[in-house]
Amino acid sequence: MTIALTSLAGSPVAGPEPTLARAAARLKSGSIREAEELAAGLVVRNPGYGPAWRLLGQVHARKAALADALHCYERALECDPREPLTALEYARLLLRLGRRREALAVAEGLERQNPLSAAAQDGLGTLLTFADEPRRALPWFERAAAQDPANPAFLYNLATAQRMVGDLEAAERSLDAVIAARPADFAAYHTRADLRTQTRERNHVAQMLPLLASVAESPGRTPLYFALAKELEDLGEYRRSFEFLRQGCDLVRGRVSYDVGTDVATMVKLIETHTAARLGEGPRGFDSEEPIFIVGLPRTGTTLVDRIISAHSQVYSAGELSEFASVLVDEVHRLGPAPTSKQQFAERALQAEPRKLAKAYLAATRPRTGRTPRFTDKQPLNFLYAGLIHRALPKAATVALERDPMDACYAMYKTLFTSVYPFSYDLTDLGRYYAAWQKLLRHWEATVGERWLTVRYEELVTNPEPVIRRILSHCGLGWEDRCLAFHEQTAAVTTASAVQVRRPIYTASVGAWRRYASELQPLMQALVASGIPRSDD
């Protein structure tokens, strides 16, 4: 606690709290420069005042000056080593920097620190979820909700963890409670809609329609459109479903500054520069068979294959790791000035030393990996780095998923992603992106060779056992019956497929796009214009 001092004249000198409050208010209102000036002045005058360092860290994080933010949080923790909310923000910043091991070390320290406030327990659960540890997160969310049962934010986070670990009925009860307490929590409606197949007897359409009409101008209403689209599709009302979906996608796309041409050009650049000859130049990589890479566009079966492979007794599912991209970015930046474009990054990345990349990648995945002989990395965007991955880890297996273009693109279009895949909200963008991705896929097949296996989603779900045997053989794994019963696993799932992969293999989504053949014509036209044969031929 800061104690006010008294000047020689006898008038009190104010402590730092009022200035801190003003700085926090400026930051909240978006006045970043004013907040920074106030916070910076505070730490100069009060270098031992932890809250000022924490606020300055928040300012730098908002500006994406992450090294400066990290320094400020470290100073804040020197002042207040046992302040849990500061530690949580510091750990989230470490995650943002790709330093997962250090973030988890902070989490472990907090787990031993008692008592924690409800807010700190919820924050710890959130940190563990971001670190892909939802099963560890669940009890912290439960404690936060028990300590403050009227807080809908705590209940929503609890529901999210319950969904990830497969307790779908409990998740629905938690979301019902969130909506009862906070009827305008649109994300809760969307998450709840996805928990099960809605029926005529049991759905939420009548609840959502008047709500949507009453919030027609609300900027946060987008999840409600996706929720209505999902439930109406379950009910077989396809035309109405697609109309809500289109409106939701248009809202998202309208808020995003994105040019699909940049991503298409990047994939063309990869094909031109990441050739077998260029990738074969220089020193060899690291001969480890430990990682198994699963790549593909989202919603094409990557999570399904991950669950199948990780059901094997020798394999651990590490989820969607960002570690390869992270260590590659670090190495590219070390080699010279930061690239000014994605295409320049693709060219510069060829200078990265493969063995160094491989060892840095494996080290970055610890201690999560290393407890079993093999682990899966199912980061879909690793398809951009597939050539570099093969050069760095030439004995690692890659399994790529390919799905019917119309089904794949429709599945992405109807998914509300979180801050990724901006191409997925416009049908023409989707067609152009898919076509460029497929050309890159064919390039990697030819370049990587025998360590690459492409699996057709439709073949996997219609004839699973021989395809699963082929996948396991490609990965150097013997047959285990449990891989066919992958849906019986209890491991948490953090992706958009968290509900679907808990069911046995099903074929209901094959050809689902045909219900919307008329509405999806712009997608079909974009695909055909880019050289992809028509799906209905």
Contact status, residue 333 vs residue 489, Cβ threshold 8 Å: no
Asked if residue 496 has pLDDT above 70, the reply is no
Q: Fill in the amino acid letter for 82.
A: R
Structure token digits, residue 536 = 């209905």
Residues 75 and 371: their CA atoms lie apart, in Å, by: 35
Residues 212 and 216: their CA atoms lie apart, in Å, by: 6
* Nearest Cα residue to 312 out of 462, 478, 179: 478
Residue 397 lies inside a defined structural domain of this protein: yes
Question: What pLDDT, on a 0 to 100 scale, did the predictor assign at position 52?
Answer: 93
pLDDT digits (tens, 9 = 90+) for 179-237: 999 999 999 999 999 999 999 999 999 999 999 999 988 889 999 999 999 999 999 99
Asked if residue 277 has pLDDT above 90, the reply is yes
Question: What pLDDT, on a 0 to 100 scale, did the predictor assign at position 16?
Answer: 85
Looking at the DSSP bridge assignments, the partners of residue 304 are none
Question: What pLDDT, on a 0 to 100 scale, did the predictor assign at position 113?
Answer: 86
What element of type H or E holds 18?
Answer: helix 17-29
* Nearest Cα residue to 19 out of 58, 46, 1: 46
Contact status, residue 295 vs residue 380, Cβ threshold 8 Å: yes
Question: What pLDDT, on a 0 to 100 scale, did the predictor assign at position 282?
Answer: 84
Q: How many domains does the chain have?
A: 1
Confidence of residue 170 (pLDDT cuts 50, 70, 90): very high
* Of residues 270 and 501, more confidently modeled: 270
Confidence of residue 527 (pLDDT cuts 50, 70, 90): very high
Residues 288 and 129: their CA atoms lie apart, in Å, by: 29
What element of type H or E holds 416?
Answer: none
Asked if residue 493 has pLDDT above 90, the reply is no
Residues 294 and 272: their CA atoms lie apart, in Å, by: 23
Average pLDDT, the chain: 91
Residues 43 and 443: their CA atoms lie apart, in Å, by: 54
Residue 295 lies inside a defined structural domain of this protein: yes
pLDDT digits (tens, 9 = 90+) for 291-337: 999 999 999 999 999 999 999 999 999 989 989 999 999 999 888 88
Residues 6+ apart with CB under 8 A from 455: 301, 305, 399, 400, 401, 402, 467, 470, 471
Residue 456 lies inside a defined structural domain of this protein: yes
Structure token digits, residue 399 = 């399994």
Residue 133 lies inside a defined structural domain of this protein: no
Scanning 289-426, the segments in alpha helix (DSSP H) are 302-310, 323-335, 342-348, 354-364, 386-392, 405-413
Confidence of residue 98 (pLDDT cuts 50, 70, 90): confident
Q: What is the mean pLDDT of residues 429-455?
A: 97
The strands making up 397-402's β-sheet, listed across from edge to edge, are 315-317, 374-377, 291-295, 397-402, 452-456
Structure token digits, residue 351 = 């200078």
Q: What is the mean pLDDT of residues 263-277?
A: 96
Angle at alpha carbon of residue 13, lines to 12 and 16, rounded to 5° = 135
Q: Can you give the CATH number for the domain in which 361 is found?
A: 3.40.50.300
Scanning 204-353, the segments in alpha helix (DSSP H) are 205-214, 222-234, 238-255, 260-273, 276-279, 302-310, 323-335, 342-348
Contact status, residue 402 vs residue 300, Cβ threshold 8 Å: yes
Omega before residue 210 within 30° of 0, cis: no
Confidence of residue 8 (pLDDT cuts 50, 70, 90): very low
Q: Cα separations (Å) of 251 from 226, 244, 374, 376, 518?
A: 11, 11, 42, 35, 21
User: What percent of the chain has pLDDT above 90?
Assistant: 79
**How many Cβ atoms are within 10 Å of 451's Cβ, its own excluded?**
17
Q: What is the mean pLDDT of residues 334-350?
A: 89
Residue 256 lies inside a defined structural domain of this protein: no
Q: What is the mean pLDDT of residues 97-113?
A: 89
Q: What is the mean pLDDT of residues 82-96?
A: 93
User: Model-level pTM?
Assistant: 0.85
Residue 224 lies inside a defined structural domain of this protein: no
Residues 6+ apart with CB under 8 A from 106: 87, 88, 90, 91, 94, 127
Question: What pLDDT, on a 0 to 100 scale, did the predictor assign at position 500?
Answer: 55
Residue 185 lies inside a defined structural domain of this protein: no
Contact status, residue 430 vs residue 471, Cβ threshold 8 Å: no
Question: What pLDDT, on a 0 to 100 scale, did the predictor assign at position 12?
Answer: 39
* Nearest Cα residue to 454 out of 342, 320, 305, 331: 305
Q: What per-residue string of b and e applies to 497-523 under the rule 16 or more CB within 10 Å gives b?
A: bbbbbbeebeeebeebbebbeebbeeb
pLDDT digits (tens, 9 = 90+) for 357-366: 999 999 989 8
Residue 202 lies inside a defined structural domain of this protein: no
Domain residues for the domain of 448 are: 261-529
* Nearest Cα residue to 232 out of 223, 245, 220: 245
Asked if residue 495 has pLDDT above 60, the reply is no
